[in-house]
Each structure stands twice: as C-alpha cells, then as structure tokens.
C-alpha cells in the first residue's frame, strides 16, 4: 500500500506532534514544520526517517513555508493532506488591558499563518484531491468577553466553511477541528482534567481516513471535566 503524506504545522509539540505519531501508525508519511529544529529532528528520529521529514521554519513567512511544502511533496512524491495547526494565545485577555503588539503577533500566526499554509499546499492538494485540516476552537463558536483570541478562531471557522466550498469543486475536503481546553504547552500551567493532545490527534486521523464519499466538515471535542 502506498503511504499518503500529511504536512503538519506546529508539529514540534502538543497536538501537532501527537498527530504526527498517530498518522505514522495509521500508515501515513508526515512532514513536520515548526520553528524548533532540535524538537523536529528528535521527533522525526523517533518516528523513523523513512516516514517523517523535519522541516524547520516560520509559518508566518510565506516563502519559507512554501519551500518546505514543496520540499515535502518532492521528498515523498506528493502531498495528500495538510494540517494547519500552528497557533498561539495571548498573555493578557480582553480589549481594555490587551496589548496591540501582542495582538499583531497572534493574528499573524493564527490567521496569516493558516492562510499561508493552505495557499502553499493548495496546488499539491488539488492535484491529489486532498484534504485540509484546520485547528479551530470552541472559542470560535461562542462569545467570550473581549476575547481577541476567540475572534481569531471565529475567522478559522468562517474560512474553513468557505474553503470547503472551494475545494469541493475539484473533489477536495476541508475539516475544522474545534477542541475545548487541551492539556498542552499552549498553557503555562498543566490542565490534567482536560483533553489530551492524543484526543485531538485521533480526530484528525479519523477525518483524513474517511472514504471519498464522506466529507467531515467540522468536529467539536469537549472535555467531560
């Protein structure tokens, strides 16, 4: 069986790294993109370099990202799916006390980084009738007082629906994964009673493994605690 290939941003830790592990077990190759070369190299070694390729870079630099996507497609002979997972929150919530400079950095990553990932991967996905997975959030489906982070995830929600309509014109699919709180390095303190990265990774792998007739547009995963 020919292994398909998944490109993952934010792949060095948390949801991205766990998705890479689950995808390799499920029979996929993975291209790992994040800023931390050491972490990516260690993860690729652990997963096996026959099926994992470390590609360090900055998701907010379109040319750097495009070069990595193209390198992954060349290395593995194509690209079947992309997981636009890189993102960040804010240290100071709300509008009144919020820091506009911090907003700018977050929005560049959560919005432009997502758009750049899809743009860079688009020709490869179109060729393969492939799949785009976007990390949204429950925060992008509800209203939270003054949440700039939540507003960035509302963008993901809207864009994901629009992208689904565009991709279906040529047989592609898009899924928005909307987690509740997940115990990842995203937070300064551990959240032991919340979701684990592997819970979200399982959802990603489920979506990309569906038969061509099934289009999973959105998945919401909430902690029971």
Nearest to 65 by CA among 113, 107, 104: 113
- Say which of 116, 122, 149, 206 is annotated catalytic: 149
CA distances (Å), 35 to each of 29, 97, 180, 206, in order?
A: 20, 29, 25, 27
Residue 60 to residue 152: CA distance in whole angstroms: 15
Nearest to 72 by CA among 123, 19, 134, 16: 123
176, 187 contact by CB (below 8 A): no
CA dihedral sign, ordered 79, 203, 218, 58: negative
The answer to whether 122 is a known catalytic residue is no
Catalytic (active-site) positions = 149
């Amino acid at each position: 069986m020919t292994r398909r290939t998944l490109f993952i941003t934010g792949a060095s830790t948390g949801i991205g790294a766990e998705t890479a592990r689950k995808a390799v077990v499920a029979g996929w190759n993975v291209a790992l993109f994040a800023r931390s070369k050491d972490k990516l190299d260690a993860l690729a070694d652990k997963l096996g370099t026959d099926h994992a390729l470390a590609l360090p870079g900055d998701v907010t630099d379109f040319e750097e990202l495009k070069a990595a996507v193209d390198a992954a497609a060349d290395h593995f002979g194509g690209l079947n799916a992309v997981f636009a997972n890189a993102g960040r929150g804010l240290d100071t919530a709300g509008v009144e006390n919020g820091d506009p400079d911090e907003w700018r950095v977050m929005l560049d990553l959560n919005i432009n980084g997502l758009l750049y990932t899809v743009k860079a991967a688009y020709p490869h996905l179109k060729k393969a009738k492939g799949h785009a997975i976007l990390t949204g959030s429950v925060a992008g489906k509800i209203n939270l007082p003054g949440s700039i982070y939540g507003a960035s995830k509302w963008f993901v929600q809207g864009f994901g629906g629009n992208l689904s309509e565009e991709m279906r014109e040529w047989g592609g699919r898009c899924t928005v994964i909307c987690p509740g709180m997940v115990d990842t390095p995203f937070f300064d303190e551990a959240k032991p009673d919340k979701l684990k990265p592997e819970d979200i990774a399982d959802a990603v792998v489920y979506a990309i493994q569906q038969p061509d007739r099934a289009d999973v547009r959105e998945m919401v995963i909430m902690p029971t605690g």
